[in-house]
Structure 1
Amino acid sequence: MKPFYNLVTIILLCVLTVVSEAVAQHHGTISGIVRTSDGNPAAFVNVGLKDTRKGTISAEDGSFTLRNIAPGTYTLRTTFVGLKEQEKTVTVNAGQTVTVAFSLIENAAQLSEVVVKGTNRAVTAGKANIATLDMPQTTGVVSRVVIENQQISRLGDALKNVSGVSLTQQRQGVAETFSARGYSISIAGAAGSIFKNGVISNTAGFPEASTLESVEVLKGSSALLYGNVSGGLVVNMVTKKPKFNWGGEVSMRAGSFGLYKPIFDVYGPLSKNLAFRMVGTYENAKSYRDVVKSDRVYINPSLLYKPGKKTSILLEGDYLKANITPDNGVGSLNANMNAIIPDVPRSRFINTVWAYNRMEQASGSMNIQHDFNNQWKVNAIVSAQQTDIASFGAGVPNNNVAANGDWSRALSRAQTSEKNKTAQVNINGRFSTGSIGHQLLVGSDLVAITSVSNAFTITSNGVGVTTYDKINILDPAKYVQRTDIPDSRAITRTTSPSYRAGVYVQDLITLTDHIKVFAGIRWSYQKTLQTSILDLRNNATTRGTAQTKYDRAFSPKLALIYQPTKNTSFFGSYSNNFTINTGVDIYGQILSPSIIDQFEAGVKNEFLDGRLRANFSIYKIVNSNFAQMALTKADGTPNTDTNVKELTGQTTSDGLEADLNGNLSKNWFFIVGYGYNYMRYTNTSTAKGSPILGERLTNNPAHTGNATIFYTFDLPQLRGLKLGASAFYTGARYGGNNNTVGQTPEFSRLIPLTGFATFDLSAGYTYKKVSILAKVSNITNELNYLIHDRYSIMPIPPRQFTSTLTYKF
């Protein structure tokens, strides 16, 4: 059936093109550019025809286009929150394009000082600069204003501000997992769904959020643009870019548990055509968890070169060095039966006192953009990244903690290196076929990832260590813990290369003032090479048991958009993504990818020139062909091999999301969001090892919510005073592992977790160029847990205090 769906999609694309030509009429077009008084592009400025519903928003390069304009004379107006509007008279003739240029009174520096961000801003992760109301997909943006006001340091804290997105797991205190719409993404490894500036990124070791310009989220399927990614969300971290005016700031952040964190951000011109930016931070902190500490250095230099008005070359680099104590959480009792969260202090640490996780990461990228004219441009990106991680400590307490708390600790030593290289090219164009407007994107991308991991032998006094010592997670004084560090030696090195490539095309088709159609399709190719294993003891090389694997998939997307007014947009869409499967079928053939279908409908509203936004969406995501253990072998006999599978299962994820965001003046902003999700198994087999029909999947809260408000006083007696409050809710969910048919032991592997809410209060004061902001987080000292599988049970942070002193220049 899937080839049939793909064929139908291609036919629909062709039909739409024919229809576009058939209904073409003679109308005119208005295009132009908006610049600041110092000649820089003015992005996200509202441009529209006065007394009509015709309007758009300037792109990042300041360009704008209004199509399908009936012949006549109009008043063209530009508006931006906090700035004086401008008007120009234009005359439109049939079949012709009128070019108009605006120059704002404010320069780039003044424009950047406007706090209000309430514009119909395009999400850069969408690759095509499609305005929010035109994009048939739910998105979320955590702006620099929110990051600074909430004093956010970690990506997980930023994503809590996006409706329907929740932080559901932590792994050994060095990695996080986020969930949305029933699907999860992990920050460990470059094969995931987290990007930086549109480029896939290995973000192990907690991404640094305090230095970002924004965090963007595309919800649901984004396979059309990115290939094999999560069906729940894609995250794009946007770094700060160079500017052609001098400025910057220095900050000192300090807080509970010995946190101190200087941050700097400096930018300016080096010549008429060359600008720079240098952002960095150093962080040193202990933790509410005993023994745990972190030491991090991060820098992000960048250069922007403009050889001409139509071309820009952006060079960016990243360097992160982090030493973090790996933390297995508080452990669990009876892990091989009904797992029980132990009643121990939130600070209880059960790893070895000398455990370490050391990460060093460097990356570089070049982004070239050339504008052929106001309608067509090309963008090319190449990047490379290397991530090296070395860790040593106690292995995870998985299925081996006794009911009385006794745990015989084994040791785990790891050393990994991951190199990824990426390249992508995107061509964006705006054109008309008669009265039909098109916003076209054609692109291609390539990702090459090579992972290297070492296996170790661990010895003490020349004797292999199988059990390091015994501790009791309920009573640390029961046994004397060892503190010596055994020797470790790498014995094998496994290299695992893989390649991902794709080509895609999409078109936003404006049929009338009110109706638009979005259509696109991607072809993806993925090659996972057979691993090579080098024995470091004799330099002999062998091959892994898994053969080289090839996967291919089409990912179509089709949507209808209805806009009764310029401020309201209804959309309905179909799209799909795919997941790569392991194992073989009953005939020994490699399993093809599972295709996941998504149906979504929603409404987006923007009022008061974009200062107030209200959105609502519902969705249904069905994986009607997920892999599960086969009932029988090819000869009809019962199958007991978990690697032999069949594509006969099904999961269904239903849900809704709502958010209300406002920047009603430069003094205050608010964010409110809610998400509901119900993901469960809706078709399974009765074979041993298959999922349980109807069981809700783990790490997926039914309800999530977020609310934030900040207000800055400008009354003479209170000028500069800022007050803020935030609340975040994560609903009831299951940790642990889902149950399977005939599992041994027969006890439930689910760990029920109650819902919880945390509340933060902030207060600050600004005087001229100096500001101070203080926050008390989790003011009620709420206790709950994030659980990875059945071993890493991590208590959420307790009440904490954070303050930031900043000087802007």
Structure 2
Amino acid sequence: MAVPATAQDQPAPPATDARQTIIVTGVRDGYQVDATSTATRTPTSLKDVPQAASIITEAQIDDQAMRSIADVLRYVPGAVISQGEGHRDQIILRGNNSTADFFVDGLRDDVQYYRGLYNAERIEVLKGPNAMIFGRGGGGGIVNRVTKRPGANAFISSSGSADTYGAWYIDTDINQPISQSASARLNAVYEEFNSNRDFYDGRRLAINPTFAVSLGGTTRIDLGFEYNNDKRTIDRGVPSAAQGSLTSPSRPLTGFRDTFFGVPGFNVSDFEAKVLSGRIEHRFSDNLTVTSRVLYGDDDKLYRNTFAVTPVTLRGGVQSVGLEAYSDPTTRKNLLNQNDLVWTVTTGPVRHVLLAGFEYGDQRTRNQRINGFFGSGDIVNGGRRVFVALADRITVPPVTLRTTANTGYRSIRTNADATAFYVQDQISIGEHVDVIGGVRRDRFKLSIDDLVAGRSYSRTDTLWSPRLGVVLKPVQPVSIYASYSRSFLPQSGDQFSSLDITTAALEPEKFDNYEVGLKWDVSPTLNLTAAVYRLDRTNTRATDPNDATRTVLTGAQRSKGLEIGLNGA
């Protein structure tokens, strides 16, 4: 229901007035994007970026009524959305699963929650390892949300929708200049959740005021605050119909489309985030710019769930399904800072765009895992699992959460400190050849306190992440590229929760990506992209075949494929 501004037809000038000029401005039709600053941290044409990238614009988000990251990834080759246990975004990029490879305006956004699109200008999905730009993780790729910033023109727009299940939302986007050099913007959304699934409901409230000021035309300061509160029922879906095998895989249970395999009121995700952000960009000259970004986030997350852990099976002649339950409260405080210096130098036919930067991150996490127990019914595993008869609405005995000894209770405190510096050179040789090379050095220190066992573990890794790419442009609409890049992931996992006496001694996983691709502007408004890649993941963990108590780094994974995208009008 958003109403855009449109150009107005103008009457033809009188024949006697040859001096009148009519200027019509507008936006190019279609969803094509020409450039990005995310893939290289410098303003770069997408044709000159030697990696596969998919960008979903605000226009496409609005036209197709996208409401989530899951909606966006339906239009991204090489990307698949996972269920995320009903309470978080979880992605598979080039065969690699992650809950943490998310960024907002280039800064890490690795808390587990569902990200809204109400304040997104565009969503950028970069495929392959991106450690040179973003640091650890991102082995299969990353998802970056570029948020809306205040502009010079005043406007108000809103949109809303409702469906027959009772779900509805309304959002608003208000931009207001305050003076010739300052402006403010407000994005907000309220959403009610509902669906065909029994007992499913929830709501989300988010508000994001931002302020921008320009000082002397050479310095711009952006300040923002986001409050996000999301509370919803956790629905883990339906169980498998029967135990599967490699030759006969299992299938989802049919005939129970609306049945909720959980406990109403117990299955809940309650997320609250308060995020302060700032950005300062200063232009010393047309060729020299420095940008500094800072973000402080305070996140509080609770999720509790009862869920199916077995396929449908016969118990005493009755079709039943096994359920387990747990609670997982998490708090995280993030302090992130990123500083980039970009210098453009031209010497004859060779043009250099030099990037030098420094990054700092301090992430402090407190997490618990509290297992649930059932006191009645067909219970096994010491009361941790109960089997309930299959029905349109299942009946589950009451759940009790226990933190006593021998209940599998986990309580950890994590400090993750990261410092990094990086350099990059984008070299343009004439009009037909570009070369990009860069390297990043990360020092990542992780400390974990096991508050139940009274033990502490720590590990410090210092790693180099290179990147090299060549772009050939035989004719103006076409670019052909080849690239190599590397990323790494500590053995603690992307949420820092699995460091113990074994994993603390293991080297990080490595991701090496080899890629060739084509980018072709078929017409001024239509772009074709294709990429062939091989992604090798090494240093994955495996059990020592000679000693089941030991873990060794002999595992490896290879993903390879072809991605094709057509974008525009």
Q: TM-score range by the shorter chain?
A: 0.7 to 0.9
**Structure 2 residue matching 1:564: 3-state secondary structure:** coil
Shift of 1:623: 2.8
CA contact (8 A) 2:481 2:516 kept: yes
Alignment of 1:617-766 (within 5 A): 617-631=531-545, 638-641=546-549, 643-646=550-553, 648-662=554-568, 669=569
Select 1:314's aligned residue among 211, 222, 242.
222
Aligned match of 2:87: 174
Whole-angstrom CA distance in 2 between matches of 1:622 and 1:335: 31
Aligned amino acid, residue 575 of structure 1: S
Aligned match of 2:186: 278
Aligned match of 1:216: 124
**Structure 2 residue matching 1:531: 3-state secondary structure:** strand
CA contact (8 A) 1:509 1:517 kept: yes
Whether 1:290 and 2:198 are equivalent positions in the alignment is yes
Q: Relative to structure 1, is the Cα distance of residues 324 and 433 closer, same or farther in structure 2, using a 3 angstrom cutoff?
A: same
Q: Relative to structure 1, is the Cα distance of residues 154 and 587 closer, same or farther in structure 2, using a 3 angstrom cutoff?
A: closer
Structure (1 or 2) with the larger CA radius of gyration: 1
Aligned match of 1:475: 391
Aligned match of 2:11: none
CA contact (8 A) 2:156 2:174 kept: yes
Whole-angstrom CA distance in 1 between matches of 2:157 and 2:519: 36
Whether 1:341 and 2:249 are equivalent positions in the alignment is no
CA contact (8 A) 1:567 1:607 kept: yes
Aligned match of 1:591: 506
Q: Relative to structure 1, is the Cα distance of residues 501 and 383 closer, same or farther in structure 2, using a 3 angstrom cutoff?
A: same
Whether 1:568 and 2:482 are equivalent positions in the alignment is no
Aligned amino acid, residue 126 of structure 2: L
Whole-angstrom CA distance in 2 between matches of 1:175 and 1:587: 28
Aligned amino acid, residue 645 of structure 1: V
Whole-angstrom CA distance in 2 between matches of 1:513 and 1:494: 55
Whether 1:531 and 2:531 are equivalent positions in the alignment is no
CA contact (8 A) 2:275 2:295 kept: yes
Whole-angstrom CA distance in 1 between matches of 2:313 and 2:114: 32
Aligned amino acid, residue 579 of structure 1: L
Whole-angstrom CA distance in 2 between matches of 1:436 and 1:563: 15
Q: Relative to structure 1, is the Cα distance of residues 233 and 589 closer, same or farther in structure 2, using a 3 angstrom cutoff?
A: closer
Whole-angstrom CA distance in 1 between matches of 2:540 and 2:502: 18
Aligned amino acid, residue 320 of structure 2: D
CA contact (8 A) 2:31 2:56 kept: no
Aligned match of 1:549: 459
Whole-angstrom CA distance in 2 between matches of 1:155 and 1:269: 31
Q: Relative to structure 1, is the Cα distance of residues 579 and 488 closer, same or farther in structure 2, using a 3 angstrom cutoff?
A: closer
Q: Deviations over 1:489-520 (max 9, x none)?
A: 79975211112222111111112321221111
Aligned amino acid, residue 551 of structure 2: V
**Structure 2 residue matching 1:124: 3-state secondary structure:** coil
Whole-angstrom CA distance in 1 between matches of 2:30 and 2:238: 43
Whole-angstrom CA distance in 2 between matches of 1:345 and 1:292: 15
% same residue = 23
Q: Relative to structure 1, is the Cα distance of residues 567 and 149 closer, same or farther in structure 2, using a 3 angstrom cutoff?
A: same
CA contact (8 A) 2:326 2:371 kept: no
Whole-angstrom CA distance in 2 between matches of 1:152 and 1:607: 27
CA contact (8 A) 2:459 2:504 kept: no
Over the aligned positions, Cα root-mean-square deviation in angstroms equals: 3.2
Q: What is the aligned length?
A: 530
**Structure 2 residue matching 1:224: 3-state secondary structure:** helix
Whole-angstrom CA distance in 2 between matches of 1:228 and 1:340: 36
Q: Deviations over 1:733-771 (max 9, x none)?
A: xxxxxxxxxxxxxxxxxxxxxxxxxxxxxxxxxxxxxxx
Whole-angstrom CA distance in 1 between matches of 2:233 and 2:49: 42
**Structure 2 residue matching 1:565: 3-state secondary structure:** coil
Whole-angstrom CA distance in 1 between matches of 2:321 and 2:519: 53
CA contact (8 A) 2:341 2:356 kept: yes
Whole-angstrom CA distance in 2 between matches of 1:499 and 1:257: 45
CA contact (8 A) 2:374 2:386 kept: no
Aligned match of 1:435: 349
Aligned amino acid, residue 528 of structure 1: L
- TM-score, with length taken from structure 2: 0.85
Structure 1 residue ranges (4+ consecutive) displaced by more than 6 angstroms after TM superposition: 104-107, 457-461, 487-492, 583-589
Select 1:579's aligned residue among 489, 494, 507.
489
Aligned match of 1:614: 528
Q: Relative to structure 1, is the Cα distance of residues 469 and 460 closer, same or farther in structure 2, using a 3 angstrom cutoff?
A: closer
**Structure 1 residue matching 2:548: 3-state secondary structure:** coil
Whole-angstrom CA distance in 2 between matches of 1:589 and 1:488: 28
Q: Relative to structure 1, is the Cα distance of residues 363 and 158 closer, same or farther in structure 2, using a 3 angstrom cutoff?
A: same
Aligned match of 1:778: none
Shift of 1:365: 0.6
CA contact (8 A) 1:125 1:236 kept: no
Select 1:383's aligned residue among 264, 285, 295.
295
Shift of 1:521: 0.8
Aligned amino acid, residue 571 of structure 1: Y
Whether 1:505 and 2:461 are equivalent positions in the alignment is no
Aligned amino acid, residue 310 of structure 1: T
